[in-house]
A and B are shown apart, each in its own frame.
Chain A
Amino acid sequence: MHELAITESVVDAVTERLPGAKVTCVHLEIGALSGVVADSVRFCFDLVTEGTNLEGARLEITETAGRCHCKVCGSDFEPDGQIAICPCGSIEITVLSGQELKISSVRCLPAEVA
C-alpha cells in the first residue's frame, strides 16, 4: 500500500544525490522483513519516474531473505512469513537480516552541464 510513497522516496533520493544525471538503471535491496513488497514497487516505478531523470530507467531489485537468531535455543533460522518465531517456539529473537530497504546503486549518464 505504501509502496508508492516508498518509490517516490527512491526517486527523490536519487535525484537529490545525482542532480541532472540521466539515470538508466536503479538497483534496490528489499528485505523479506522490510514491510515493502518488491512487486508493488515494480508496479509503481514507471508511474512515479515519469517526467523525472529516472524516466525509462530499468529497475533491478535484490530481495534478501529474512534471517533471525533465537535468544533461547541459540539457533539461526529463516522465518516463515512476516512473523519471526523460532522453530523451538520462542519469540525472543534478534533479526539478523531481511529488514533492508535501500538504494544499492544506480547506473547513469553524467549530468548535463548547464
Chain B
Amino acid sequence: MCATCGCSGSSVVVQLLSPRPARASAGHSGEHPHDHETHEHEDHEHEHDSREIHQHDHEGHGDERTVHLQQKVLAKNDRLAQLNRDWLRQRGVLAINLMSSPGAGKTTLLQRTARELAGKMAISVIEGDQAGTLDAERIRSSGCAVAQINTGAGCHLDAEMVAEGLRLLDPPSGSVVMIENVGNLVCPALFDLGEQARVVLASVTEGDDKPLKYPHMFRRADLVLVSKTDLLPYVDFDSKRHGADVRKTSPRALMLQLSAATGAGMQEWYAWLRRRTPVPEE
C-alpha cells in the first residue's frame, strides 16, 4: 500500500480486544456501518455505470475508444466514509480520528482519558497499527473496549477498515469512539474515515517545525493538541512559532496544550470532547 514500504497492504486483520465477551468476526450483529446489503447496493450502481459504458462499446464496434470517467480517485473510500458518518450520526456516536507521528503520545493520551473519564463518558477505541496488539493491550488495561486493526504494510486506516472496527465495537448511543490512526503525518491525512472531528497530536519532542513540513495533516485538523508539555523545559520547542505555523495551515483549528504524564491541560481536552458528545438516546 505504501510506496515507502513497497509492498501490498492486503493482509488487513481486524480483531476485538475488550472487557466484554468477544464476538466472532463472522457473526453479524445485524446493524452495522455498511453491511452486505449496502455493498450490494453499491455493486448495483456500478453495474448501471458499466452498462452505460457497454453501450458505447457497441457503437465503437470493437475499436479502441476513450471513456470519460471524471471520477475522484478516492471516490470509493469517500462513499464508505459517508456511510460510516451517517451510521454514527443516526446512532448518536461521536468518532474522533486521532492522528500524529509515531511516538507523539496518542496511546498515552487515550489511556489517561479513558481512566479519568471512566463512569462519566463511554469510550471505545479503534486501534490502528501495522502489526501487533501492544497499544490495544495498553488501552484495554484502562478498561476500554478496543478493536485492533493491523494494516499489514498499509500506512493508514481507511473507511472500510473503520466500518469493520465499528461493527465489532458496536458502540452505544451517546458514546465516543477514538480512532487511533497509524502513526504517520502524511498518508492518513488523505483518507476520510467518516469521523466527525480530526484531532492532530503534536508532541514538543518532535520539534516546532512540523506544521509547515506536513501541511496536509494540519490543514483539515479541527483540534491540534500539543502534547508532552511537561518536557518543554528540556527541549527546543517554540510554542509561539508552532502556534503561528498551525494557523498558517489551518486558520480554524483550535489549539490546546496538555501533558498526559502530569495531567496538565487535560480538563480542556475533556471539555472539548464533552461539547461534541451526543446525548444518549433512551
Contact = CB atoms under 8 A, between A and B. Distances in A.
Interface string B65-90: 11111111111110000000000000
A48 B270 CA distance: 44
Given A35-B216, A107-B66, A110-B57, A5 B72 contact: no
Contacts of A85: 248
Interface stretch (B2-10, B169-177, B234-242, B258-266): B2-10
A36 B76 contact: no
Contact of A83 (B2, B75, B156, B249): B249
A99 to B, nearest CB: 10
B69 A6 contact: no
Given A8-B1, A12-B76, A24-B64, A91 B251 contact: yes
B207 to A, nearest CB: 17
B165 to A, nearest CB: 18
Nearest to A104: B70
B184 to A, nearest CB: 8
Contact of B9 (A3, A5, A17, A109): A5
Contact of B3 (A16, A44, A102): A44
B134 to A, nearest CB: 23
A10 B73 CA distance: 6
Nearest to B7: A4
Interface of B: 1-6, 9, 46, 49-50, 53-54, 57, 60, 62-77, 154-156, 158, 184, 186-187, 189-191, 212, 215-216, 247-249, 251
17 contacts: A1-B186, A4-B2, A12-B76, A13-B69, A13-B75, A17-B53, A35-B189, A36-B190, A101-B72, A102-B69, A102-B71, A103-B70, A105-B68, A105-B69, A107-B64, A108-B65, A110-B65
Given A1-B2, A104-B70, A108-B64, 9 more contacts: A2-B3, A2-B155, A16-B46, A17-B46, A18-B67, A104-B69, A105-B69, A105-B70, A111-B54
Q: Which 7 A-B pairs have the closest CB atoms?
A: A2-B187, A4-B3, A35-B216, A110-B57, A5-B1, A82-B215, A105-B68
Interface of A: 1-6, 8-10, 12-14, 16-19, 24, 28, 35-36, 40, 43-44, 82-83, 85, 91-92, 101-111
